[in-house]
Amino acid sequence: MKKGIILLGSSSSNGETFKVSKYLSEKTNYQIIDLKSKNIGPFDYEFKNGNDDFLPLMKEIVDKYDIIVFATPVYWYAMSGTMKIFFDRISDCIKIEKETGRKLKGKQMAVLSCGSDDELKNGFYMPFIESANYLKMKYVGNVHCWLEGEEIPEEVKHNLNQFAQDIL
């Protein structure tokens, strides 16, 4: 199995996206990094947030892992704001921290989404796929999850097992 990390971009550190991420983490032994626990400010043209937690985290990721699983809830048909801020900040790695940016090349990207609906609208994964293309990362796949009550349905467990086995 590859060396991977799950980046959790939920507004809840122990919410539904966390629950399915934890299931995946147990299957893969990939650790979860909770972006909510980090101090990561929005992209700034003058890089005023350059001393926050983004760059140390990004350096750790590019140095240690081959595959990044972006785990995001579906908020208003799109990735969460927390996850989008993280993606926006990757621009720091293109504009000033170029050495770190270059190390993204060749890494793999996968996406776990979690919504209340068992279906996603068309195009949900497009920003991930195109960002991977732009960064010369390899987009390897995605899995959509939902909960029923507090539980992970068997269908979702099956999809996560397949995802872990075939992609990660």
Q: Which residues bind ligand FMN (CB under 6 A)?
A: 10-12, 15-17, 73-77, 114-117
Residue with smaller CB distance to ligand FMN, 15 or 141: 15
Cα separation, 34 vs 18, in Å, equals 9
Residue 122 in 3-state DSSP? coil
Q: What sign does the dihedral 81-85-87-88 (CA atoms) show?
A: positive
State the Cα–Cα distance between residues 152 and 146, nearest whole angstrom. 7
- Whichever of 73 and 101 has its CB closer to ligand FMN, that residue is 73
CB of 96 to ligand FMN, least distance (A): 31
Query: Smallest distance, Å, CB 38 to ligand FMN?
Result: 16
Residue 22 C-beta: closest distance to ligand FMN, Å: 11
Q: Which residue minimizes CB distance to ligand FMN?
A: 15
Residue 57 or 112 with smaller CB distance to ligand FMN: 112
Instruction: Please give the radius of gyration of the chain, using alpha carbons only, rounded to the nearest integer.
Output: 15
Q: Which two tokens stand for residue 81?
A: 């704001």
In the bound state with ligand FMN, the residue whose beta carbon lies nearer, of 15 and 127, is 15
Measured from the CB of residue 143, what is the shortest distance to ligand FMN in angstroms?
14
Closest to 106 (Cα-Cα) out of 136, 129, 65: 136
